[in-house]
Structure 1
Amino acid sequence: MLDIHNLLVQRGEGAAAHLVRLPALKVKAGEILAITGESGCGKSTLLEAIGLLLAPCELGHFRLGSDRMDVAQLLIENNQAALADIRSRYLGFVLQSGGLLPFLKVRDNINLPRRLLGMPADSTQVERAVKALRLEGLLDNLPQALSIGERQRVACVRAIAHEPKLLLADEPTAALDPHSARRLFELLLELVSELGLSALVVSHDWALVRDFGLPRLGAISHAGETRFEAMD
């Protein structure tokens, strides 16, 4: 599903520059992997690079999907149209803030990615996700009528509404209390498993990741650079 070798991203310039390096990553279809590390070490930067929102300064190879499309070549060519198409069709994003549009009802927030891609509004996958995250009674509400946890659950469904291959979640439980965080984490993992997605989940909560038994990429930080490597 995802195969990356020698990815290097730089944030900042000069003395303030920080390098984020990923020597190797392979994620199989249906696999869920956590990305862990201390605040500020580069977890979100790594996720943005994998999500094709940041251009790497070094890259060996980057292959995505069952057909192993050559994303690295598109990055080298700076083919923004093709990269945007991959992001919209193959990737789903869950942000820390949820990122819901306040003027759209829950139902319309969820369906927005499908509308933008010209997909039919009716979707068995969306219906299953809405049921799995217990949102049936909230579909006609506006986001401001929801709790923070409910907004994050809506964001999770919206992220998979267009049937992506890979889900990228950046600290989806960061704004929640411990009980709500654990419940959302559990529901998110159940949803990913039920729909057969692959997922990368950034989390600073090592205990939560450990309790759910997720394999992880851990940060190893030195002056000016963080490497992410597979951890037991």
Structure 2
Amino acid sequence: MTMRARLRDILIIREKGGMRFELRVPSLDVYGGECLAVLGSSGCGKSTLLDVLALALKPCRAGRFLLYDEGGESDVPALSGAGLARLRGRHMGYVLQSGGLLSFLTVRDNILLPGKLQGMGVEFLEKRLDRLASRLGIAEHLGKKPQHLSGGQRQRVAIARALIHGPAMVLADEPTAAVDHKNAGEICAVFKEMVCESGAAL
């Protein structure tokens, strides 16, 4: 599955503690199979842009925000909350800076959750789980809760969860911020390789 995103004249405004923050995106195109990096100083809006691409945050203004998939064209600003949730659940994988794992679920159930929410078959999901867990080196931790893992192991679990349902677009917000340099390099290499093999945009 591939997806393309086209953003034109995007404006996001956030206000906090009497401070006003504006993020403007004049033009951005994201194509299936390509790998993009967003660089900038802390607080410049990198996470905000990822939230917009992940359909978790609606822009205040959008000249054009279109997603193209096998079903055709979707005009994102015109979609209802339910429509956004359907697109997000089907096409997006998101590795959060904090990992975002649910402490009351095992590693196995955390990873399987996006696929189950999409109604995917158990046998298909279990095969994908086995493959992802093996590639990411977390197979022996599937029965544990996230709080019993190291920072690097939790990030590997978060990556597996983001990939389990075969998303067309994978977003990662500083996915190795909580791990040491050596582990960060290893995790990034495996992550990028797995996404590229799938044909998704990263």
| TM-score > 0.5, shorter chain as reference | yes
Query: In the alignment, what sits opposite 2:190?
Result: 187
Alignment partners' CA distance in 2, 1:32 and 1:87: 19
Contact kept in structure 2, 1:3 and 1:27, CA below 8 Å: yes
Partner of 2:139: 136
User: What CA distance in whole angstroms lies between the structure 2 residues aligned with 1:47 and 1:141?
Assistant: 30
Deviations for 1:192-213, whole angstroms, at most 9, x for unmatched residues? 11222111xxxxxxxxxxxxxx
Answering whether residue 75 of structure 2 is matched by residue 71 of structure 1, we say yes
Give the Cα–Cα distance (whole angstroms) in 1 for the partners of residues 156 and 41 of structure 2.
25
> Counterparts in 2 of 1:109-188, with a 5 A limit?
109-123=110-124, 124-188=127-191
Structure 2 counterpart of 1:185, one-letter code: C
Q: Structure with the greater relative contact order (CA < 8 A, sep ≥ 6): 1 or 2?
A: 1
Q: Which runs of 4+ in 1 moved over 4 A?
A: none
Equivalences, count = 196
TM-score norm. by structure 1 comes to: 0.78
Give the match for residue 96 of structure 2.
95
Overall identity of the aligned pairs, in %: 43
1:42 corresponds in structure 2 to 45
Measured against aligned partners, the alpha-carbon deviations of 1:48-95 in whole angstroms (never above 9, x if no partner) come to: 1111222212212222233442233xx246x11101111111111111
From the two aligned structures, give the one with the greater strand fraction: 1
Shift of 1:139: 1.4
- CA distance in 1 between counterparts of 2:16 and 2:138 reads 44
Structure-1 residue corresponding to 2:28: 25
CA contact (8 A) 1:125 1:163 kept: no
Q: Could you say what the CA RMSD is over the residues aligned between the two structures, in angstroms?
A: 1.9
List gaps (5 residues or longer) in structure 2: none
Contact 2:96 2:172 in 1 (8 A): yes
Quick one: distance in 1 between partners of 2:41 and 2:138? Answer: 32
Equivalent residues in 2 for 1:213-228, closer than 5 Å: none
Contact 1:102/1:143 (CA < 8 Å) preserved in 2? yes
- The code of the aligned residue for 2:114 comes to P
Relative to the length of structure 2, the TM-score reads: 0.89
Amino acid at match of 1:134: G
Deviation of 1:161 (Å): 1.1
